[in-house]
Amino acid sequence: MNRVRKGDAGLVARQLYYEQLLFWKNPFRAVFTIGFSVIFLLLLAGSVGNSRSSLLGGLREVQYYVPGFAAYGVMSACFNTLAISLVVRRETGVLKRLRLSPLPTWVMVASTFLSSLVVSLLEVIVLLLVGRLAFSVTLPANFLAFVVAIVVGAVCFTAMGIAASTVIPNEEAAGPIVSIVFFVLLFLSGLWYALTPSSVLAKVAGYFPVRPMILATFAPFDRLPGTSPWAWHDIAVMAIWGAAGVVVSVRRFAWEPHRSG
Amino acid sequence: MRPAASSAVVVENLVKRYGGVAAVAGASFEVDAGEVFALLGPNGAGKTTTLEILEGFRRADGGRARVLGYDPANRSTARELRERIGVVLQELAVEPYLTVRQVLSRNASYYPNPRGVDDVLDIIGLAEKADSRVKTLSGGQMRRLDLGLGIVGNPELLFLDEPTTGFDPSARRDAWEVVRALSGGGSTVILTTHYMDEAEALAGRVAVIANGRIVAEGAPRSLGGREVGEATIRFRLPGEGSPAGGAGSAGGAGSAARVTLPAGLEAGAGRLDDGTVEIRTADAVSVLRSLTNWAHDEGVELHGLTVERMTLEDIYLRLTGYGSDGKMEGEA
């Protein structure tokens, strides 16, 4: 590995700036990532948001949808968008060019992660504002637990996003593969409708990282007395998936197009 | 710690295998600091693989490579090495939504002593497109941006992989000027190319690589014995299938003005389809002397008289196109 130098923090900051430029200057990416979660929230909350759910202990559905779509926003920014853009960058040769420059790999990874985190946080703030202003949803009662869930989730799904990019053969396949995996998991994980916690589906989904992300984001909101705002079990599941993502990424990451190799 | 380097690049018995096949099979060459060195060879000969090993992108299976004194495969010095080299490869994209200036500024920040961005824009002739997005560039402009990204770090050593493929003639001349300017500034340049005129115009020394090995190396004008090898003398004789306006009448067989060469010259002469006489000889001076003495004495005009050495392309085709390895090495 290349040693860290004085001034590398500035390099990360500059690289983060250009990553952000890239994100916001690509209108499709920006709209797709940020807009989708807001539209989903508005549609669902606007239709069934005010009905009270016994699964949520009598809370209004919208109180579940706001953290649910905040979780969705983090996952889509860190996993979907990142995995697809990494495959495109690899297949078009952008990564190879980067590899031949002196930019250290860790600076690239750090700035990519921070960029996904910035987008995630923005999305979360937008969703909280929409929830608060349009649907009078209460804000997280335990803000620290909420931030920890978001950050652990961002790390986990960034690692998973990089790992996913290494098994996707080319850019044409990237969108479909990522979307299928992601949306199937979202359905199984009860984003659109709360699952009965004791059901087989909920138990199975609990082994994958998506449901834990939704639950860990939901827990810090003001819920029933006697429930903890810290969903430690879910946070641990995400951490394990994140570690697996790191292992796969380190072992399989490729800088040059798969089609040329 | 920076190792001392007398040569910019040293390659000894470099080997790289893919599967069981050796893409590079014991290549050796050296490039001096400040030199422009061209690696010529057909597709699949091992040029790109050799370059990628030197750039530190691939690891060799055998042999030794030193680039500016560094082992390019050593990860702990990779950053230092890459701060001092520039690489221009084919078909590598640039993020389409950034402007030309943004891309150059960003990449400049990776290097300790970058060239000024405006300076680079002038050199590559993209000053007017500086604030346009990369995705609006034409193919030729994109290649110039490639070149710009290769030189923005102010490299001591620049690798150019077929830098002018797809350029129109004037764009090629411009690119050549850039390479000459860099070389004039003391940078070492290693380029691969398919174009013999490019190698001849730019390189002080060329090496021909075939089947993963260097089969010939030298200055373009002397490569493969070009200076001392055989020359071709061509001319037309009056009445011998001459073009319009020639001496022959429209008549049938054996025109009146037909001239025959003396036997000593005729023995080595061949005829092209248009009647041009062609003599290949290793001793052009003697043959020319007999020919011109004869023509002068007999009052015969030698239309279109030329003397040509083998072109670099002839040499290249001979070195890469035919025969077994052994034969090629024998010739080189």
Map out the domains of chain A as residue ranges.
8-255
B94 lies in the same domain as B64: yes
- CA–CA distance, A15 with B103 (Å, rounded to integer): 11
- Identify residue A46 by its one-letter amino acid code: G
pLDDT reported for residue A52 = 82
List of chain A residues whose C-beta atoms are within 8 Å of the C-beta of residue B98: 18, 21-22, 25
pLDDT reported for residue A260 = 54
Tell me what ipTM this predicted complex has: 0.87
Is residue B219 in a domain? yes
HSE value, Cβ hemisphere, 13 Å, CA-based, for A202: 13
- CA–CA distance, B74 with B52 (Å, rounded to integer): 14
Sheet with B21-32: strands ordered across? B21-32, B7-18, B62-67
Q: Do A102 and B79 touch (CB under 8 A)?
A: yes
B57 lies in the same domain as B203: yes
Is residue B177 in a domain? yes
- CA–CA distance, A52 with A192 (Å, rounded to integer): 14
B194 lies in the same domain as B272: no
pLDDT reported for residue B149 = 95
**3-class DSSP state for residue B28?**
strand
pLDDT in tens, B282-328: 888 888 899 999 999 988 888 889 888 777 777 777 777 653 343 43
pLDDT reported for residue B257 = 57
pLDDT(A48) > 70 = yes
Is residue B326 in a domain? no
Q: Kindly state the percentage of chain B with pLDDT values over 70.
A: 88
Q: Which domain holds residue B97?
A: 7-224
B204 lies in the same domain as B286: no
Q: How confident is the model at residue B253 (pLDDT cuts 50, 70, 90)?
A: very low
Catalogue the E-assigned strands of B162-230.
188-193, 205-210, 213-218
pLDDT reported for residue A148 = 96
pLDDT reported for residue A149 = 96
Q: Do B83 and A92 touch (CB under 8 A)?
A: no
Q: How many CB atoms lie within 10 A of CB A219?
A: 23
B198 lies in the same domain as B287: no
- What is the average pLDDT value for chain B, to the nearest integer? 84
Interface of B with A in 3-22 (CB under 8 A): none
Q: Which of B51, B53, B68, B79 is the mutation pick for testing A, counting most A CBs within 10 A?
A: B79
Per-residue three-class SS string for B78-132 = HHHHHHHEEEECCCCCCCCCCEHHHHHHHHHCCCCCCCCHHHHHHHHCCHHHCCC
Contact predicate B191/B39, CB 8 Å: yes
Is residue B317 in a domain? no
B189 lies in the same domain as B293: no
Q: State the smallest CA–CA distance between residue A73 and chain B in angstroms.
A: 23
Least confident of A104-118, B59-73, B214-228: B214-228
Q: Kindly state the percentage of chain A with pLDDT values over 70.
A: 96
pLDDT in tens, A199-234: 888 888 999 999 999 999 999 987 767 788 899 999
pLDDT(A143) > 80 = yes
pLDDT reported for residue B240 = 64
Q: State the average pLDDT over residues A13-35.
A: 87
pLDDT(B28) > 80 = yes
Is residue B320 in a domain? no
Contact predicate B185/B207, CB 8 Å: no
CATH number of the domain bearing residue B91: 3.40.50.300
pLDDT reported for residue A2 = 53
pLDDT(B329) > 70 = no
pLDDT in tens, A62-82: 888 999 999 999 999 999 999
B122 lies in the same domain as B156: yes
Is residue B1 in a domain? no
pLDDT in tens, B54-99: 999 999 999 999 999 999 999 999 999 999 999 998 778 898 999 9
Q: State the smallest CA–CA distance between residue B111 and chain A in angstroms.
A: 7
pLDDT in tens, A169-183: 999 999 999 999 998
Is residue B204 in a domain? yes
- CA–CA distance, A161 with A163 (Å, rounded to integer): 5
B202 lies in the same domain as B263: no
Interface of A with B in 79-118 (CB under 8 A): 89, 92-94, 96-97, 99-104
Identity of the highest mean pLDDT range in A44-53, A117-126, B170-179? A117-126
Give the count of domains, chain B.
Answer: 2
B111 lies in the same domain as B192: yes
